């Protein structure tokens, strides 16, 4: 019985020895030199007044040789390629890549650094400004029986976007950062940052806006005897189907339901590729915006083609 517990004798010394051995192994392993391909971001400095980057520079692959402990840092915080464009007025600049352009984190260094590509181009454009709409980016599902209504909006509804002139011409609106509405049913205002298309190239003024969230209860309405339309009916064929109409239970905002008529819904049976005979088809139901189908009776139709 006593021999069974000998393994636990001097347990603290054994654990200390194991930890010390592990530390020595880690030290030896991280002092060795390794070579890996690191994708380095490009930082453009001293951009002339009135100019901005026309596009985000791509990551530059570089074969870096360094100690293991330094390589761990480089994987988490890659060295940066610094491009100085001071006193240059041309819109497209090409730089020869060399290790002297690398800025290493925490004053570390590498034994060797060789770029996979030999040069990189940086494009500049005139700085422009444009007033655009701000659209709230609403995500999530409100409380049961509620929806986000149309009066949800940003305040102010317009912001000034600054960035490359050519890209600004294609932008008419920007979104806010996502606003979650999960489980909510009461109106409220939240402060939210504006999300430009690319935070490196564009700036918004103001940087944040108020988002007014409005909710309304959904209601249900029954539409009876809604007509069904046949699609891709072949010439010369006699087609009959039953029943001839469909009943729909629809949910949505009260105002939208009051204005929606059955004739605005599109209920179809597609006969494309069907040969003469008896077929069982499921109706395709398309409702107007903001309305949701609760139930349909029937959903399947018996179709005879002769």
Q: pLDDT exceeding 70 applies to what percent of the chain?
A: 90
- Mean pLDDT in the chain? 86
Which domains are present in the chain? Answer: 10-117 (2.170.120), 126-213 (2.170.120.40), 219-305 (2.170.120.30)
- 26 has pLDDT over 70: no
Q: Round to the nearest angstrom and report the end-to-end CA distance of the chain.
A: 92
Instruction: Categorize the per-residue pLDDT at 158 as very low, low, confident or very high, splitting at 50, 70 and 90.
Output: very high
User: How large is the average pLDDT for residues 239-260?
Assistant: 83
State pLDDT tens for residues 118-157: 998 888 899 999 999 999 999 888 888 788 887 889 999 9
Phi, psi angles (nearest 5°) of residue 265: -85, 150
Closest Cα to residue 152, out of 142, 144, 162, 160?
142
- 34 has pLDDT over 80: yes
* Structure confidence at residue 192 (pLDDT): 95
* Structure confidence at residue 231 (pLDDT): 85
Are 226 and 245 contacting, i.e. CB atoms less than 8 angstroms apart?
yes
Other C-beta atoms closer than 10 Å to the C-beta of 77 total 12
- 89 has pLDDT over 70: no
Of the given ranges (28-32, 162-166, 183-187), which has the lowest mean pLDDT? 28-32
For every residue of 119-144, which 3-state class applies, written as one string?
A: EEEEEEEEEEEEEEEEECCEECCCCC
Q: How far apart are CA 100 and CA 11, in angstroms?
A: 53
* Structure confidence at residue 17 (pLDDT): 64
Closest Cα to residue 303, out of 209, 240, 236?
240
* Structure confidence at residue 12 (pLDDT): 67
Q: How far apart are CA 81 and CA 75, in angstroms?
A: 15
Preceding amide of 36 cis, omega within 30: no
Taking only Cα atoms into account, the Rg of the chain, rounded to an integer number of angstroms, comes to 33
pTM assigned to the model: 0.62
């Amino acid at each position: 019985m006593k021999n069974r517990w000998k393994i636990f004798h001097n347990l603290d010394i054994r654990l200390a020895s194991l930890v010390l051995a592990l530390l020595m192994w880690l030290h030896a392993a991280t002092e060795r030199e390794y070579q890996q391909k690191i994708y380095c971001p490009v930082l453009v400095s001293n951009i002339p007044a009135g100019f901005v980057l026309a596009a985000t520079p791509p990551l530059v692959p570089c074969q870096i040789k360094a100690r293991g402990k330094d390589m761990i840092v480089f994987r988490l915080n890659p060295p940066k390629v610094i491009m100085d464009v001071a006193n240059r007025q041309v819109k497209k600049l090409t730089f020869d890549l060399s290790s002297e352009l690398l800025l290493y984190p925490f004053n570390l260094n590498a034994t060797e650094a060789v770029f996979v590509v030999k040069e990189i181009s940086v494009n500049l454009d005139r700085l422009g400004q444009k007033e655009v709409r701000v659209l709230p980016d609403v995500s999530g599902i409100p409380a049961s029986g509620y929806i986000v209504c149309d009066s949800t909006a940003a305040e102010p509804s317009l912001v000034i976007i600054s960035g490359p002139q050519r890209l600004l011409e294609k932008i008419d609106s920007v979104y806010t950062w996502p606003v979650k509405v999960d489980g909510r049913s009461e109106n409220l205002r939240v402060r939210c940052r504006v999300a430009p298309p690319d935070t490196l190239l564009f700036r918004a003024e103001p940087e944040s806006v108020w988002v007014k969230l409005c909710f309304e209860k959904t209601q249900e309405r029954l539409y009876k005897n809604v007509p069904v339309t046949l699609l891709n009916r072949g010439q010369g064929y006699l087609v009959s189907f039953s029943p001839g109409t469909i009943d729909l239970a629809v949910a949505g905002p009260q105002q939208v339901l009051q204005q929606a008529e059955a004739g605005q819904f599109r209920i179809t049976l597609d006969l494309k590729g069907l040969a003469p005979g008896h077929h069982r088809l499921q109706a395709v139901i398309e409702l107007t915006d903001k309305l949701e189908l609760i139930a349909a009776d029937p959903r399947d139709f018996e179709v005879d083609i002769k």
